[in-house]
Amino acid sequence: MAFNSVLRRASKSLLPLAIRAVGSPRTFPRAIPTVENLRNFLPSSHFSTAVTELKSTGDENLIRVLESEIECVEIPHDVEDISNEFPFKIKDNPGERTILLSRKFLDETIKIEVDMPSISTDEDEDDDDAKDEDVSSIPLVVSIAKGSGQYMEFCITAFLDEISIDSISIKNVENSDELAYEGPDFNDLDENLQNAFQKYLEIRGIKPSITNILFDYMANKDTKEYFLWLKNVKNFVEK
């Protein structure tokens, strides 16, 4: 019994020593240096200078390439020979990818948002030897309003010498952002109804003859916007 009592007292006195020797985190060196230690090894002035030089080199290289590209762009002149038969006023803000056409037609206000031309590949399925052709088109959104209430909106894809109606919807001015029902697929409509809608637009000046003018105008605008974009990017990098 006396021996057991001595053994228990010895165990209690040795246990804290064992914990301090084995379990304490202070006995293990840190494997990952702290931020403070890194700062002691990497002088901040040297690091800052290296980053500044790297940035300067990258900026100067980009500016040289931009300047070279700007010199290669042939700046087009404004389109001035628009036909007198073109019934719309054109609002063209530099820096924007779209233009806005507008006109009054009796008691109606007609507006057309014209986007940049897009190019897709058209494959002739009837001729196995025919090659794919690049087909250029312009997205149009036509709105026809009467008064300040509802208006009818046509989503159109305009090709050279052709206007293709994609959808038709009736919208409210106050809730123009809501998704309105656009009817069935236009090509699924009765042929007489399709022709009637085409005639409806044609009477209001939305016909292939004006879209051909728009192709030239938007191609010209695309080049001007690209030139302006290059200059704006260069000016930003040079700041």
pLDDT in tens, the chain (239 residues): 444 444 444 444 444 444 444 444 444 444 444 444 545 555 666 667 878 888 888 889 999 999 999 999 887 777 666 777 799 999 999 999 999 999 999 999 999 999 998 877 666 555 555 456 668 999 999 999 998 788 999 999 999 889 999 999 999 877 766 777 888 899 999 999 999 999 999 999 999 989 889 998 999 999 999 999 999 999 999 98
CATH number at residue 188: 3.10.280.10
Residue 142 lies in a domain: yes
* DSSP symbol at 94: T
CA dihedral of 217, 218, 221, 227, whole degrees rounded to 10: -140
Residue 84 lies in a domain: no
User: How many structural domains comprise the chain?
Assistant: 2
Residue 175 lies in a domain: yes
Long-range CB contact pairs, 88-91, < 8 A, 24+: 88/112, 88/205, 88/210, 90/217
**Same structural domain, 110 and 216:** yes
Last residue of one domain, picked from the residues 72, 97, 115? 72
* DSSP symbol at 114: E
Helical residues (DSSP H) of the chain, grouped into ranges: 2-22, 35-41, 44-72, 191-203, 208-238
**Same structural domain, 25 and 138:** no
Residue 223 lies in a domain: yes
**Same structural domain, 147 and 219:** yes
Residue 60 lies in a domain: yes
Among the listed residues 136, 131, 133, the one whose alpha carbon sits nearest the alpha carbon of residue 119: 136
Please give the C-alpha separations between residue 154 and each of 122, 146, 170, in angstroms, as whole numbers: 24, 15, 9
Residue 67 lies in a domain: yes
Domain that holds residue 145: 89-124+131-235
**Same structural domain, 49 and 118:** no
Residue 206 lies in a domain: yes
| Residue 86 to residue 204: CA distance in whole angstroms | 11
| Residue 88 to residue 175: CA distance in whole angstroms | 26
Residue 33 lies in a domain: yes
Do the bridges between strand 162-172 and strand 133-145 make them parallel or antiparallel, or are there none, so unpaired?
unpaired
> The pTM is what?
0.71
Determine how many CB atoms are found less than 10 A away from the CB of residue 76: 13
